Amino acid sequence: MKTLRPLLLALVLPAFLQADDKPAIYIDAKETEELMAKDGQKVTVYGETTGSGKSSSGMNFVNFKGAEFYLVTFKSDLDQFEDGEPADIYDGKRLAVTAVLSIYREKPQIKLTSPDQVVILEDGVEFPPPGTEVVEEKPGEKKGVKKEEKVTEKPTEEEPKKKPPVDPKKYFK
């Protein structure tokens, strides 16, 4: 059964991480600038955790090795984690976490509200899954800087398209 686990995980993991119809965005936890650029978007962040802990108010923090990225779980969400608190059960593990990314005090974070957001990656499991697009720095490009596109043709001046009238009954009841 143990030999089937990595294979099963490799088959099930992509479907789990792409529950909606949008393609998954995979970002290494160490890629701070790429994470900062995805504020408010659903992403899958992966990496190894280390040095996780708890605050005096009961909040849990799961820190990623060599990264400014972390997971935060508020005390009100801890009852969702039946196997223990996130700082205890996820510390020292390879994780893939899928959720909406946010920025707090100039650092990227994910608010962890359920164990369903986390996949513990076992040894021997290749991640991100083969054939998926990964956000990473391209050689010769500065991180977070887009290349300017040159416009070869002058835009033609056209009459702006008129929008259809809005039915107020649709929005006001």
Are the C-beta atoms of 115 and 83 separated by less than 8 Å?
A: yes
What is the structure's pLDDT at 161?
63
- Say which CATH number the domain at 62 has: 2.40.50.140
Region 137-162: what's the mean pLDDT? 48
Distance CA(47)–CA(148), nearest Å, equals 32
Answer whether residue 139 is part of any domain: no
Answer whether residue 142 is part of any domain: no
What is the structure's pLDDT at 158?
61
Q: Exposed/middle/buried for 114, CB within 10 Å: 0-12, 13-18, 19+?
A: exposed
Distance CA(88)–CA(137), nearest Å, equals 32
Q: Exposed/middle/buried for 158, CB within 10 Å: 0-12, 13-18, 19+?
A: exposed
Answer whether residue 10 is part of any domain: yes
Our count of domains for the chain comes to 1
Answer whether residue 160 is part of any domain: no
Are the C-beta atoms of 43 and 34 separated by less than 8 Å?
A: no
Answer whether residue 122 is part of any domain: yes
- State percent of the chain over pLDDT 70: 64
Query: Which residues, 6 or more positions from 26, have their beta carbon under 8 angstroms from its beta carbon?
Result: 43, 44, 46, 128, 132, 133, 134, 135
What is the structure's pLDDT at 67?
95
Are the C-beta atoms of 36 and 144 separated by less than 8 Å?
A: yes
What's the pTM? 0.65
What is the structure's pLDDT at 164?
67
Q: What share of the chain is helix, strand, coil (3-state, %, to 5)?
A: 20, 25, 55
Q: Range of 79's domain?
A: 4-128
How confident is the model over 71-103, as pLDDT tens digits? 999 999 999 999 999 999 999 999 999 999 999
Answer whether residue 90 is part of any domain: yes
How confident is the model over 109-128, as pLDDT tens digits? 999 999 999 999 998 888 88
Answer whether residue 153 is part of any domain: no
